[in-house]
Amino acid sequence: MYTLKSFFFTVAALVLIAVLPAHGNEFNQNDVVVEVISDHRGSLREYPVDSSGQWERSYIEAQKNERYRIRVRNTNKRRVGLVIAVDGRNIITGKRSDLKHNEAMYVLGPWETAEYTGWRTSKNRENRFFFTRAQDSYAQAWGDHSAMGVIAVAAFPEKWQKPRPEFDKSFGRSGSTMKRQRQNGPGTGFGEGTWSPSHEVNFVARHRPFKKEFIKYEWKKTLCRRGIMACYRQQPPKRQRNRFWPDEDQFNGFAPFPPAARQLLRQLLPW
């Protein structure tokens, strides 16, 4: 038999149990939006592929020597940490990335949008991203072919306890021992330097990301061959025969005489 006091305690416990789990799940995948923006074509069209419901995957078309940037929007009221890797390399440190919580990351404030334009070489400088051949890419310079042609973003929620003042410098291992793979696809180059000021903030990420997005960029011919894009091979227009003007390139498969020589031949051989 419950007393009134014990009933209130029971209700309070149920409410506490119902509320606490939601505290750690304040983000969902739709709270972070990732786009790849071309300097010339604008937002690049994405071709989503089946990812078995776990992480988001899509294709985009790359054009050689095209500069691009990665735009990320946070539509949540909480800060979010972003580990961003291009061709398998962390864009802040240049080291091999495994999209882990202890890597260098950018922090995006509530309702904030930011664009990441290149490899960070100092607090105030970036070197631009641009599409190039895989053998000319930044990752190739380090012998890392393990994630060529992929833009990856892992979004982490923030821990609620007081952030540690020290910075965790535990990055991924070098990719110099990776086996060589095919080099006919695109990669991302280390372009010209641009002004890009930044500053350090305290942010302790949870161990597991709430979102991972992988964007695979390929040349158009590859996307067409794989059926990712609806491509139609352009057929040359059919030449209409003119009964009063025969085609000049149809002379029994041989080179025709020049017009002046043809006129002279008619005078000498009138038949």
pLDDT at 181 over 90: no
Confidence of residue 235 (pLDDT cuts 50, 70, 90): low
pLDDT tens-digit readout, 97-117:
999 999 999 999 999 999 999
Query: pLDDT at position 162, please?
Result: 53
Hey, what long-range contacts does 12-17 have (CB within 8 A, 24 or more apart)?
Answer: none
pLDDT tens-digit readout, 12-57:
333 333 333 444 457 888 899 999 999 999 999 999 987 555 688 9
* Other Cβ atoms closer than 10 A to 215: 22
- As a whole number of angstroms, the distance between CA 193 and CA 223 comes to 31
Higher pLDDT, 199 or 239: 199
- As a whole number of angstroms, the distance between CA 72 and CA 43 comes to 12
DSSP letter string, 162-230: PPPSS-----PPP-TTPPP---SSEEEEEEEEEE---------B-SS-SEEEEEEEEEHHHHHHTTSS-
HSE-up (13 A, CA, CB side) for residue 32 = 31
Cβ atoms of 92 and 102 within 8 Å: the answer is no
Cβ atoms of 88 and 41 within 8 Å: the answer is no
Q: Which pTM value belongs to this model?
A: 0.69
- Looking at the chain, how many residues does it have? 271
